[in-house]
Amino acid sequence: MFRAEEIEMLICGCPYLDIAALEAVTVYDGYCKTDSTIKHFWEVVRSFTTSQQKQLLLFTTGSDRIPIGGVAEMRFKISRLSQPHPHRTDILPMAHTCFNNLLLPPYKSRKRLKEKLLIAVNNAEGFGLK
């Protein structure tokens, strides 16, 4: 027999988010893990509350939980969002939830990245399902 917690995990996925494990499985398109934008991104994400981290996961993947097999079972991708006007700094991050793909503009500062990421994450509607 299953306990209630085990059934919940089977149906909903893991409620705990391991940012270090997520960082370890992340692949990059247009970025290297040593690029300043990526370093700033992970610094910002580590500084987020658990709730904000889950909101980021929801924004990027469509779910605020890790799949049952853990982070190692998922593919998380950060792609460089090329801007048609490179001097514009008002572009927000975007996501392709079906592909767990975060489209991240190359922000010049950690502060700007955090500001824009929080705006995007906090104002995401998803599919509008509650």
Q: Which of 12, 14, 32, 98 is catalytic?
A: 98
Q: What is the DSSP string of 84-112?
A: SSTT---PPPEEEGGGTEEEE---SSHHH
Q: Can 12 be counted among the known catalytic residues?
A: no
For residue 121, give the nearest of 113, 129, 109, 110 by alpha carbon. 113
DSSP strand pairing (101-104 vs 94-96): antiparallel
**H or E element at residue 77:** strand 76-80
d(CA 11, CA 55): 19
Residues labelled as active-site residues: 98
